[in-house]
Structure 1
Amino acid sequence: MPAAAPVESATAVQSPADVSVPLVSDAQSFRRAFKDLRDGFSQRELWLSLGWQDIKQRYRRSVLGPFWITIATAVQAGAMAVLYSTLLGQDLRAYVAYVTVGLITWNIISNSILEGSEIFIANEGLIKQLPSALSVHVYRLVWRQLLFFAHNLIIYVILIPVAGLWHHLNWSALLAIPAIALIFLNAMWVTLVFGIFATRYRDIAPILSSMTLMLFVLTPVMWNTKSLTDHAGAVGERARLIEIIPTYHYLEIVRAPLLGEPSSLLSWGVVLGITVVGWAVALLAMKQFRSRVPYWV
Structure 2
Amino acid sequence: MSFNNPGKGCLDVYRTLRQLYLPLYLARADIRQRYRRSTLGPFWITISTGIMVATMGIIFGQVFKAPMAELLPFLAAGLVIWSFISSTLTEATEVFVGAQAVIRQLPIPLFVHVVRLLAKNFYIFLHNIVIFFLVLLYFHESLGLVSLLSILGLILLILNLSWLSLLLGIVCSRFRDLTQIVASLLQIFFYLTPIIWLPSLLPEKTSMMVLTGNPFFHLIEVVRAPLLNQVPTSLNWAFTIVFAILGWLFTIFIFNRYRSKIAYWL
Do they fold alike, i.e. is TM over 0.5?
yes
Q: TM-score, normalised by structure 1?
A: 0.84
Shift in Å, 1:55? 1.2
Residue 180 of structure 2 is aligned to residue 206 of structure 1: yes
| Displacement after TM superposition at 1:148 (Å) | 0.9
User: Which residue of the partner structure matches residue 293 of structure 1?
Assistant: 262
What is the letter of the counterpart of residue 197 of structure 1?
Answer: V
Unaligned runs of 5+ in 2: none
Q: Which runs of 4+ in 1 moved over 4 A?
A: none
Tell me the equivalent position of 2:189: 215
Contact in 2 for aligned 1:165/1:260 (Cα 8 Å): no
What's 2:237 paired with? 268
Q: Is 2:225–2:231's contact at 8 Å kept on the other side of the alignment?
A: yes
Instruction: Say whether residues 1:153 and 2:129 are aligned partners.
Output: yes
Q: What is the Cα deviation at residue 296 of structure 1?
A: 0.8
CA distance in structure 1 between the aligned counterparts of 2:37 and 2:125, rounded to whole angstroms: 22
The secondary structure found in structure 1 opposite 2:197 is coil
> Is 1:34 the counterpart of 2:10 in the alignment?
yes
How many angstroms apart in 1 are the aligned matches of 2:6 and 2:87?
28
> What's the offset of the Cα at 1:165?
2.4
CA contact (8 A) 2:76 2:135 kept: no
1:81 to 2:24 alignment: no
Summarize deviations over 1:219-254 as a string: whole Å, max 9, x none. Answer: 1110111133xxxxxx34223322221111111111
Residue number among 145, 156, 164 corresponding to 2:140 in the alignment: 164
| Whole-angstrom CA distance in 1 between matches of 2:52 and 2:105 | 40
| Counterpart for residue 169 of structure 2 | 195
Q: Report the counterpart of residue 138 of structure 1 in structure 2.
A: 114
Residues 1:242 and 2:210 are matched in the alignment: yes
**Which has the larger Rg?**
1
Q: C-alpha separation between the residues in 1 aligned to 2:33 and 2:139?
A: 34
Q: Secondary structure at the match of 2:158?
A: helix
1:276 shift after superposition: 1.0
**Cα gap change, 1:79 to 1:279, in 2 (>3 Å):** same
Measured in 1, the distance between the counterparts of 2:216 and 2:184 equals 15
Q: Provide the C-alpha distance between the structure 1 equivalents of 2:215 and 2:81, rounded to a whole number of angstroms.
A: 14
Q: 1:131 to 1:296 in 2, by over 3 A?
A: same
Matched AA of 1:187: L
Question: Could you list the runs of 5+ residues in structure 1 that have no partner in the other structure?
Answer: 1-25, 229-234
How far is the alpha carbon of 1:60 from its aligned partner? 2.3
CA distance in structure 2 between the aligned counterparts of 1:85 and 1:237, rounded to whole angstroms: 24
Query: How high is the TM-score relative to the length of structure 2?
Result: 0.94
Paired letter, 1:162: Y
RMSD: 1.6
SS at match of 2:97: helix
Aligned residues: 262
How far the C-alpha of 1:272 sits from its partner, in A, is: 1.1
Deviation at 1:93, TM superposition (A): 2.6
Residue in 2 that maps onto 1:21: none
The answer to whether the 8 A contact 1:119-1:195 is kept is yes
Q: CA deviation at 1:42?
A: 2.5
